[in-house]
Amino acid sequence: MPYQSLSTHILLIICLFLSSTVATHAAQTDNQPTAQTTATVVVFNRPVVEFRAPLLGVPIGERAQRASEVLRRMLASSTSGKVTTQQIPQGISIMLDGVLAFTMVPEDADPLKQESLEQAAKNAVAALELVVRETREARDLKLLMHATGFVLAATLAFLLLVWLLHRARKWLTFRLASLAHTHAERLSVGGESLMNRERLLQLVRRAVTLAYWALVLFLFYDWLGFTLGRFPYTRPWGERLTQYLLDLIARFGGAIARTIPDLLVAVLIFLIAKFIIDLLKTVFERVEQGKLQLAWLDQDTVSPTRRLISAGIWLFALVMAYPYLPGSGTEAFKGLSVLIGLMVSLGASSLVGQAASGLILMYTRTIRAGEYVQISGHQGTVMELGLFTTRIRTGLGEELTLPNALILGNVSRNYSRTVGDGFILETGVTIGYDTPWRQVHAMLIEAATRTPGVQSDPGPRVFQTALSDYYPEYRLACQVLRTGPTQRAEVLSTLHANIQDVFNEYGVQIMSPHYLGDPPEAKIVPKEQWYQAPAQKAEP
């Protein structure tokens, strides 16, 4: 049992208490006005009466000092200790054993309490009678011995309770540490531990130690108030300690009691908001499953619409419940709200821009999940269209995360929008002018028909997109069934291989000619060669 450490902490607490008392008294002394308006007669640490006006030219402070000295002398030699009052022209005289102790005038009554002179005199008599009883008790050796015995018993009980708390602290620390050591690995998300085992053990020890010292301080505070209250001279201090603790508990209890109705209103508002969201959730799920059709809502926009409506309902509920939250009217709460608003306004501009871009993409239906698109030089299948970013998986298995603002600010190509359940596949070649264009068309179409996955209805088509100086540019476009995110890259690779095979079979080089001078003969195709295989001339 670390008694030396405990005694050190107790002495430290006593020093802090005395220093705070001295500081409070000094602050009160400094805050007193220059012209003294009241003076309290204190005897045996008990306030007896408060003077508020001079009497027969005697200042207020001097009246209180004279009354205190007279009462001390009278109490030291008092026999019966009987307190009486006597009406005089100036006011009411307070008598102790038939001898004048002090005089009260009508101006000594408290005007703020609307107190009369008779009421003020009655209170002074009651206070003086209490002082008389306590001074007699202080001179009674038998009563002092009884008080000392109670203090010793309370001290032993206090030390015993501290010792039991220390033992309980050691047992509880060991027990909780064992539980934390056993169940620390269960605190995990996705297979990853949320908290290190040693860190958790340290947190448990600190929590137990904090609870232990809180209970020790509470017991010491109660012991100190009880000890001071056993002796007449220090009894007012003990009563102040006890009254301070009771007032503190009363303030906490009163604050909690006043807060409960407002909290119930706030909880009711949030419950109503949750009920409305759950009610709308059923409608949104039916629209998402295709069981319900609404003119202003479809399967593409139901998810962002649900999020927006839910966020709007929660924000509205928060605004409605804000006045009922504890501390919402305090300056600290208002300052914190301003600080959070400033932080959000300064740091969330890009975030808000990304969210706005995401909403525009969703509601304009520019792209949808599952479509094959090309955005800023990146091609792939849209895996997820989020509020801030969009995930695209390329045909090579890469997953790209593109900010929505980037997608909205660039030209996007959608290869799936005009096709029912597939996407457009296109590629191009450049062949010299000496190769019949009909033959090039036929070879490209034949290569497309050999490629698995290319649809025959509608069939592949070839377009001459440009007549350059050295060669025409041919572009093959066909439709492919959607079977997965990597299908387009695989189909395109197979199509390129088939184009090479077909061109090799018919002896046509895939080559883009360039010239340093004019050829000796013009690069033209004679009419009899217009329909070289695999091109077929249509019969008239």
Determine which helix (DSSP H) or strand (DSSP E) holds 354, and give its type and residue range: helix 349-364
Residue 97 has pLDDT above 60, yes or no: yes
pLDDT for the residue numbered 445:
92
Rounded average pLDDT over 229-238: 76
Distances 508 to 400, 493, 503 between C-alpha atoms, Å: 39, 20, 5
Using DSSP, state whether 460 is helix, strand or coil: coil
Q: What angle do CA 229, 233, 236 make, to 5 degrees?
A: 50
Q: Does the structural domain 418-514 have CATH classification 3.30.70.100?
A: yes
C-alpha closest to that of 95 among 72, 69, 62, 128: 128
Rounded average pLDDT over 120-148: 79
Top pLDDT among 272 and 67 is at: 272
In whole angstroms, what is the distance from residue 415 CA to residue 425 CA? 8
Other Cβ atoms less than 10 A from the Cβ of 108: the count is 24
In whole angstroms, what is the distance from residue 299 CA to residue 296 CA? 11
Could you tell me the end-to-end alpha-carbon distance of the chain, in angstroms, rounded to an integer? 117
- Tell me the pLDDT tens digit for each residue of 194-218: 456 677 777 778 888 888 888 888 8
In whole angstroms, what is the distance from residue 267 CA to residue 152 CA? 51
- Tell me the pLDDT tens digit for each residue of 314-356: 888 888 888 887 777 677 777 777 777 777 666 666 767 777 7
In whole angstroms, what is the distance from residue 39 CA to residue 59 CA? 10
Percentage of the chain with pLDDT > 70? 82
Amino acid letter, 515: Y
Top pLDDT among 328 and 129 is at: 129
pLDDT for the residue numbered 36:
58
**Parallel/antiparallel/unpaired status of strands 46-51 and 99-104:** unpaired
Amino acid letter, 199: R
Residue 112 has pLDDT above 90, yes or no: no
If pLDDT is split at 50, 70 and 90, which confidence band does 66 have?
confident
- Tell me the pLDDT tens digit for each residue of 139-168: 777 777 887 888 888 889 888 988 988 888
Report residue 336: phi and psi, to 5°: -65, -40
Do 479 and 456 form a contact (C-beta atoms < 8 A)?
no
Residue 519 tokens, joined: 């050829």
- Tell me the pLDDT tens digit for each residue of 493-510: 899 999 999 999 998 888
Rounded average pLDDT over 460-482: 89
- Tell me the pLDDT tens digit for each residue of 384-437: 887 778 888 877 778 888 888 888 888 887 777 766 667 788 899 999 888 899
**Parallel/antiparallel/unpaired status of strands 389-393 and 188-189:** unpaired
Rounded average pLDDT over 75-104: 78
Residue 442 has pLDDT above 90, yes or no: yes
C-alpha closest to that of 215 among 150, 176, 256, 163: 163
In whole angstroms, what is the distance from residue 186 CA to residue 413 CA? 48
- Classify residue 519 by its DSSP letter: -
Residues 6 or more apart in contact with residue 341 via CB below 8 angstroms = none
In whole angstroms, what is the distance from residue 195 CA to residue 176 CA? 15
State the span(s) of the chain assigned CATH 3.30.70.100. 418-514
Q: Which of 45-49, 267-271, 451-455 has the highest mean pLDDT?
A: 267-271
Question: Phi-psi region for residue 76, left (φ > 0), alpha (ψ -120 to 50) or beta?
Answer: alpha
Return the CATH fold of 349-415.
SH3 type barrels. (2.30.30)
Residue 517 has pLDDT above 80, yes or no: no
Top pLDDT among 45 and 465 is at: 465
* Residue in the block written with tokens 């399967």: 299
Residues 6 or more apart in contact with residue 425 via CB below 8 angstroms = 415, 454, 477, 478, 479, 480, 488, 491, 492, 495
Rounded average pLDDT over 51-65: 81
If pLDDT is split at 50, 70 and 90, which confidence band does 34 have?
very low
State the span(s) of the chain assigned CATH 2.30.30.60. 349-415
pLDDT for the residue numbered 473:
94
Residue 189 has pLDDT above 50, yes or no: no
- Tell me the pLDDT tens digit for each residue of 239-257: 777 777 777 777 777 777 7
- Indicate the average pLDDT of the chain: 77
**Strand runs labelled E in 183-266:** 188-189, 192-193
Helix and strand numbers, DSSP H then E, in the chain: 12, 15
Q: Which of 21-35, 105-119, 266-280 has the highest mean pLDDT?
A: 266-280
Using DSSP, state whether 503 is helix, strand or coil: helix
